[in-house]
Amino acid sequence: MTTPITIEAFEVQGFRAYLKPQSFSLRKGNKPASLAIFAPNAKGKSSLVDAFEYYFSEDATLQRLGLRASQSQTGPVALAHIQAREHGIDAEVNFRFRQGGNKLGEKRNVADGKSIPTAALRVLSSAKVPFVIHGYELRGFVEATAETRYREIASWFSFDPLLSIQRNLRTLQRQIKAKADSQTESDERLRDLKRVTSDAVSIWDETAIRDWFNTHVLANLDPSLIFTEICESDPTYIVLAERKDEEEKRVGLAALNTLIGQIDAVSLPLADNDGELSGLIAKFERSVSDLGVAVERESQERDRASQSVFNDVWSHAKSLFKSEDHDFSSCPVCDTEFASTPHGSLEGVQTSINAKLTLLSAYRQAESTLRTAKQQQSQNVQALTNALDSLRTGLADSDFEAESATVSSYLSALTSWASDHHALPDSGFLLQEMGATRISLTNARERLAAQQGEHTYTQAQNTADQLIQIRTDLNRIFRVKGELQKLLAELVKQTNATEKAINTHIDSLLSELERDVDQLYKKIQDVPLDEPSLIRLQLAEGNAANQQQIRLVVDYSENRKSVAPSGYLSDSQIHTVALSLRLAAIRKFNTGAPMFVLDDVVTSYDADHRKTIASTLAEEFEGFQIVLVTHDEQFFNLLQDHLPESNWAFRRITHIDPSSGPVFTDHRTSDEVIEAKLDAGEPVGDDIRKSEEEWLLKICRDFRVDISIRPVDRPYQYERGELASGLARFLKSKNLVPPDVHGIHHPFLSSLQKGVIENFASHFSDNPNKSFSSGDEKTRWIEFRSFRAMFVCSGCGRNRFKRPQGMSKPVCNVCEKPFQFEILG
Amino acid sequence: MSDGNSSNDDLVTEIVRSLRGNPEADQALIEILAEHILKTDPVDTAVDDAFSSIDNLALERGETNT
């Protein structure tokens, strides 16, 4: 278990009602302490609760302020004191924590404190239950919906992973069910069935499908063939397969079509534009002709260009003679005058050069055409050779032996021509014979088509195979769906078993919390603890969707069990239920950060219940640091009576000073602080005076000393001498004479009355720099403590008293023994 | 107080052990749930992964159990 983290102190400045820095210690000696603060309304006590809420807020704001920060000046903007900026004070809250031997702390500045301090995160990681309890919102948890309550309690118990398991199991169930119920895959196969049967059958009906196949497929081929079952083991399927094989061995329509296509590819005449529809023989012969023309043209152009063979020379000469930079009258190469040349002039020379270049260009074009023609002819020869070879084989396979021989003969001639280009093969006979063969084949095709139409054994078996495949697929789909249904049923069982285990676990944990809540409720409501339990936290029963609910009910009476609290309990009882639940949860779950803040939680209680709350805090939350703010002075006094001074500090806010903020008074000045200062040699006169005043006020209140009442806003600002005089009168009237303090010669109470401290120059000084005698202060402190120690109960040793109405002398607050001074030895 | 997370881990371990101990339960399904769902820190795709595994299991059984 990790060491609990505790608060050492917290400070606020420029925050809400606090302008100047104000610090609050939550430590006494070496131990964590609690703090109770009383203040009338609107005096700044809630600002301290706000400091807690803000410091631990993820959103750097208060729940009631929200995140609005626009022109309304609300949201985080409202956190800063309205004069903070004007006074140059940073609005901030600072907490200092201790965890074992480690100290940690961090300021959170309102201006730039968007991210939560690391120290706050450390606390929150150990505090599953929100630990700032506002009295005004307590009822909310009691009256929240069962779902909201479930979510909150689930977060306390870290149920989230368990909720996630339940949620995932339910999602998985839904997905499996959707898949098991899905028709998509089977619908797809039924669409295939509809297509295969030409829309005749749209659902899987063995009889209908068989009848359709027998009637519309097999009957067209052989009416004697009948399927009894559409499957590969049916005897008819075996016959169908055999006939398909036989059909493939005969010439069928497909084979005829192929052969006709091969003949056409070879023998069709030249089409317009020499396109793709031309026969290969025609294209070949055309390319031979084109090549002949190209050869002739190239030869002619070559002859004409022979005189112009030096293309580069003429090209350069052309540019030379066109130069405008020179005024030629003679040849720049041989210096012959142009007039003396065969061309007669420069222009004549230029004309001659252009003519030679033109001849050379025509030759280059003819040479290119020849090259292209050669390539084209070569390609055509190759294509024709391949086509003839295929045709020869096709004809031979189709029993057209003679025609095949004719093709072979032409092919042979073509091959020979390709090697020597001497004798161009004569295609006349071949084309004539292929024309006749084509007519024969076309007639055969028409006969077969008339005989069989679209129904062949090949197609029939193909249809049968598709139907068999569809049935196989549908069977598989239905089997898989069946398996999914079985798995879904099993999943539901295992989900139920899992949820039952989880809910039993949650119920068990809820019962623990329920016992704690009931115990706290009884203590606060002053109900005997052995009375039957009243409060119950019930996990909702029913289907899975309802199980994420926790009902908060009370067994109000024998005939009113499990009823909603709001229908039967009083306002204060409902308040107690809510407070008990929250406190029980904090005690159970926040052990790593034992602290909580109570913000005016006793508003709806009478005096007796305030007393039980005070005693409950003292008895049940001894190990917790509590910061309690209240505007109820009676409750505050009760707290002072019931809570041990050893680990509680009490502070009062009397008013707000506009220049600084809430003004505190009447706080207890601890002995430890004074003694630590004495040990350190620091001035301590003011602290001793405050301590004396605090004690005087306490004992006067306990004894109900008759002193004049102050105005409401200064109820505890009595003068020390006034209190001491009142106490002296009271003691004298009751014949209670305090013994002398050892070492001094007058009653110590007199010095309190006079306000005079012997040899104690700095005691009432407002000037901290004024000289002081630490020895005198120490002596004074010892004398005061000795005097104070006389006011103890001779029966139980406690130092709190009371004097109920009608009683003359004070009695011990606990054992009620009449007070009297012990005779010092 | 016991830590909530370790308490949850213990509970889930016990649930899986209990489901596995039921001879009438579909063990293949339990193993799928144990691998993907019955965890305190499941991956984001836990449900999809479990669904895929269960679908494959149904397919496998549908194809073999003719």
pLDDT digits (tens, 9 = 90+) for A510-562: 899 999 999 999 999 988 888 888 888 888 775 555 567 888 888 888 888 88
**Burial class of A239 by CB neighbour count within 10 A (0 to 12, 13 to 18, 19+):** middle
A651 or A325, greater pLDDT: A651
- Residue of chain A whose alpha carbon sits nearest to that of B7: A158
Residues of chain A with Cβ-Cβ distance to B29 below 8 Å are 487, 490-491, 494
CB contact under 8 Å between B8 and A480, yes or no, is: no
Structure tokens at A605: 């209680």
Q: Does A500 touch chain B (CB under 8 A)?
A: no
Note the Cα A403 to chain centre separation in Å. Answer: 81
CB contact under 8 Å between A171 and B47, yes or no, is: yes
CB contact under 8 Å between B18 and A175, yes or no, is: no
Whether B58 contacts A483, CB under 8 Å: yes
B32 or A641, greater pLDDT: B32
Beta bridge partner(s), residue A28 = A31
Q: Does A490 touch chain B (CB under 8 A)?
A: yes
Gap between the Cα atoms of A197 and A213, Å rounded: 8
**Residue A615, CB half-sphere, CA atoms under 13 Å: how many?**
13
The 10s digit of each residue's pLDDT in A53-81 is 999 998 888 877 766 655 565 666 788 99
The 10s digit of each residue's pLDDT in A230-270 is 889 999 999 999 988 777 666 566 778 888 999 999 998 88
What SS3 string covers A400-450?
CHHHHHHHHHHHHHHHHHHHHCCCCCCCHHHHHHHHHHHHHHHHHHHHHHH
CA angle A154, A155, A156 (to 5 degrees): 90
- Of B8, B12, B22, nearest to A158 by CB-CB distance is B8
Q: Phi and psi at residue B20, in whole multiples of 5°?
A: -65, -30
CB contact under 8 Å between B11 and A501, yes or no, is: yes
Taking 50 as the threshold, does the pLDDT of residue A761 lie above it? no
Q: Does B51 touch chain A (CB under 8 A)?
A: yes
Nearest to A718 by CA among A758, A665, A765: A665
CB contact under 8 Å between B62 and A179, yes or no, is: no
E-assigned strand segments in A568-681? 595-599, 625-630, 648-657, 661-665
- Residue of chain B whose alpha carbon sits nearest to that of A490: B26
What is the least distance, in Å, from the CA of A484 to any CA of chain B? 5
Structure tokens at A476: 């598989």
CB contact under 8 Å between A161 and B8, yes or no, is: yes
Nearest to A695 by CA among A675, A681, A716, A711: A716
CB atoms within 10 A of CB A644: 11
Q: What is the ipTM of this complex?
A: 0.95
Taking 60 as the threshold, does the pLDDT of residue A667 lie above it? no
What is the least distance, in Å, from the CA of B22 to any CA of chain A? 10
Whether A639 contacts A628, CB under 8 Å: yes
Nearest to A641 by CA among A446, A584, A633, A690: A633
- Residue of chain A whose alpha carbon sits nearest to that of B38: A165
Gap between the Cα atoms of A595 and A593, Å rounded: 6
- Of B38, B54, B65, nearest to A487 by CB-CB distance is B54
Whether A123 contacts A33, CB under 8 Å: no
CB contact under 8 Å between A479 and B39, yes or no, is: no
A356 or A155, greater pLDDT: A155
Q: How confident is the model at residue B41 (pLDDT cuts 50, 70, 90)?
A: very high
CB contact under 8 Å between B47 and A168, yes or no, is: yes
- Of A128, A162, A483, nearest to B8 by CB-CB distance is A162
A823 or A781, greater pLDDT: A781
CB contact under 8 Å between B4 and A128, yes or no, is: yes
Residues of chain B with Cβ-Cβ distance to A484 below 8 Å are 54-55, 58
Q: How confident is the model at residue A572 (pLDDT cuts 50, 70, 90)?
A: confident
Q: Does A193 touch chain B (CB under 8 A)?
A: no
Q: How confident is the model at residue A186 (pLDDT cuts 50, 70, 90)?
A: very high
The 10s digit of each residue's pLDDT in A109-151 is 988 867 899 999 999 998 989 999 998 888 887 888 888 888 8
A130 or A319, greater pLDDT: A130
Percent of chain A with pLDDT over 90: 37
pLDDT at residue number A269? 84
CB contact under 8 Å between A483 and B55, yes or no, is: no
**Burial class of A172 by CB neighbour count within 10 A (0 to 12, 13 to 18, 19+):** buried
